[in-house]
Amino acid sequence: MENNNLPLNNSLLIDENKDNDFFTENIEINTKSKVEENIINCRIDIHEKLQPPPISMYIKNDNEEIAMFTKGNFSIVTGPPKARKTFLLSMLMATSIKGQFSIFRTATKGVNILFDTEQSKYKTQQITKRICNLSESFNTDNFQVYSLRTLNPLERLELIEKVLNETENINYVAIDGIIDLDTDLILNVEQAQNIVFKLMQWTEKHNIHISCVLHFNKTSNTLTGHLGTFSQRKADAIIQVTKSKDNENITIVEATDTREKSFKPFAFSVDEKGLPYILEDFVIEKSVKAIKEKVEKKQKPTPVKVEENIHFAIIEDLFRHKTDYSYTDLYNLIKIKVEEKIAFIGDNIAKQYITYYVMKGYILKVKVLKGKPIYTNNIKPQLEL
């Protein structure tokens, strides 16, 4: 019995090997076919008429509109915690729904989708209502919102992909909390690369723009981890959101890295109803103030640093057409005269000039019976010599 079974077993062994060889050959053939297909699809034909990517959103820059986002690409909105990144995202989403919001405009229409990975369902609904109020539309046909906080990273990724695949005519997509699409995007290089690849794949496949929120590192103003590094290389634009150092109610927005023409920084605030609005004149006012502060810091023409002949010239100008001044009028006029002859000064330094002139005896402080003291010229005879 044993001898009769031996040829049968050998025969079966030979057949199994043949099946394995056939399976291996099929894999090699399929792999080869895929590579050849990729070669054909990826090769650039110089004679092919290719169109530039459509503009997803415009931003008003001085007196012109420039491209802020393009379709087939993604952008990163970043900044420290509580800098109002979600408020900026709300204005961008409202623009895509309405077609225009303040300094933003889009020429395309379709379904707009927000995926939130961080907030609770209640908080996400509040954000949804805010966007609807900004866009003046409660049409759920062109605006979909999903709260993914309770899902694990893989489920979040699968949900986003399925929604994108099954939704027709997508216009604009935002993902608030891209770091939550995998388990360790900060330290794991492969996971970070996979998420960035997914963003590039989704945007090109559906011809859409996706804006993603990614926080700063806690210890420095840089994008978080490996995901931040890969995002910065591949993103259409990196937009930084920070609170103003002068006023925490004001948020500054600037493009720190962009493939298109970079837009100038702008600012926004939030009203008593919790709705963000653009401060259209803020950038110009801020730049003028910054220039003056820079000049004051650099020059600092305090009275002890100024030559005496310049002081005499300033005093001569002060009293050329008037014999006396109140304290307020005098330091305001000193600011003008010092700026004309040296550089810009602020109120505090102008008041130092009055103290200096009184101490040196160039100006007299005269007390009056009723009212505040007046200041008169005390070196006029010297100037006439």
- Is 45 within the bounds of a domain? no
Q: Which of 231, 251, 280 is the last residue of a domain?
A: 280
* Residue 346 domain-assigned (yes or no): yes
The answer to whether the predicted template modeling score (pTM) of the entire model surpasses 0.95 is no
In this predicted structure, the answer to whether residue 156 has a pLDDT above a threshold of 70 is yes
Beta strands in 117-236 (DSSP E): 143-147, 170-176, 209-215
Quick one: which of 303, 337, 308, 338 has its CA closest to 322? 337
Q: How far apart are CA 266 and CA 88, in angstroms?
A: 11
Q: In this structure, is residue 41 part of a structural domain?
A: no
Distance, in Å, from the CA atom of 72 to the CA atom of 54, rounded to the nearest integer, reads 8
pLDDT at 24: 56
If you count them, how many residues does the chain have? Answer: 385
* Co-location of 219 and 82 in the same domain: yes
What are the CA-CA distances from residue 149 to residues 35, 82, 94, 125, 145 (Å)?
39, 19, 23, 13, 13
The verdict on 258 and 310 lying in the same domain is no
Asked if the structure places residue 231 within a domain, the reply is yes
Residue 340 dihedral angles phi and psi, to the nearest 5°: -65, -40
Q: Note whether residue 139 is domain-resident.
A: yes
3-class DSSP state for residue 145? strand
373/378 Cα distance (integer angstroms)? 15
Indicate whether 250 and 306 sit together in one domain. no
95: buried, middle or exposed (CB in 10 Å: 19+, 13-18, 0-12)? buried
Distance between CA atoms of 149 and 266, rounded to whole angstroms?
31
220 and 351 both lie in a single domain: no
**DSSP H or E segment with residue 127:** helix 121-135
- Burial degree of 167 (CB within 10 A; 0-12, 13-18, 19+): middle
Whether residues 228 and 355 share a domain: the answer is: no
Does residue 328 share a domain with residue 227? no
- Cα separation, 201 vs 192, whole angstroms: 14
Domain membership of residue 240 (yes or no) is: yes
One domain, residues 306 and 209: no
- pLDDT exceeds 50 at position 291: no
Residue 232 Cα distances to 92, 106, 258, 279, 286, angstroms? 20, 24, 9, 28, 28
Q: Which helix (H) or strand (E) holds 76?
A: strand 73-79
pLDDT for the residue 108:
87
363 Rama class: left (phi>0) / alpha (psi -120 to 50) / beta? beta
The answer on 332 and 224 residing in a single domain is: no
Check if the beta carbon of residue 331 is closer than 8 Å to that of residue 338.
Answer: no
Residue that is last in its domain, among 246, 280, 314: 280
d(CA 267, CA 103): 11
Indicate if 232 and 329 belong to the same structural domain: no
Output the six-digit token pair for 352. Answer: 């130092």
What share of the chain has pLDDT > 70, as a percent?
82
State which residues form the domain around 157. Answer: 55-280
CATH code (residue 98): 3.40.50.300
Q: Are residues 252 and 103 in the same domain?
A: yes
Q: What secondary structure letter does DSSP report for 217?
A: P
Which pLDDT does position 10 carry in this prediction? 43
The count of structural domains within the chain is: 2
Q: Say if 347 falls within a structural domain.
A: yes
Examine the pLDDT at 284 and tell me if it is beyond 50. Answer: no
Residue 208's alpha-carbon distances to 158, 281, 307, in angstroms, are 18, 32, 65
Give me the half-sphere count of Cα atoms (radius 13 Å) on the Cβ side of residue 125: 3
Q: Are 158 and 260 found together in one domain?
A: yes
My answer on whether 265 and 320 are in the same domain is no
Task: Reply yes or no on whether the pLDDT at 375 is more than 70.
Answer: yes
Band (pLDDT 50/70/90 cuts) for residue 182 is: confident
Q: How confident is the model at residue 384 (pLDDT cuts 50, 70, 90)?
A: very low
CB 242 within 8 A of CB 79: yes
13-43 tens-digit pLDDT = 445 455 555 555 565 666 668 888 888 877 8
Cβ atoms within 10 Å of 186's Cβ, excluding its own: 14
CA distance 354 to 153: 67
Rounded to the nearest 5°, which phi and psi values hold at 42? -90, -15
Lowest mean pLDDT among 93-97, 102-106, 305-309: 305-309
Whole-angstrom Cα distance, residue 329 to residue 333?
6
CATH number for 325: 1.10.10.10
For residue 261 the two structure tokens come to 């023409």
Per-residue model confidence (pLDDT) at position 385 = 33
Which of the residue ranges 63-72, 212-221, 306-315 would you say has the lowest mean pLDDT?
Answer: 212-221
pLDDT of residue 192: 83
Q: Mark which of 249, 280, 311 sits at the end of a domain.
A: 280
Can you say how many angstroms the Cα of residue 101 is from the centroid of all Cα atoms in its chain?
A: 17
Cα separation, 45 vs 35, in Å, equals 18
- Is 358 a domain residue? yes
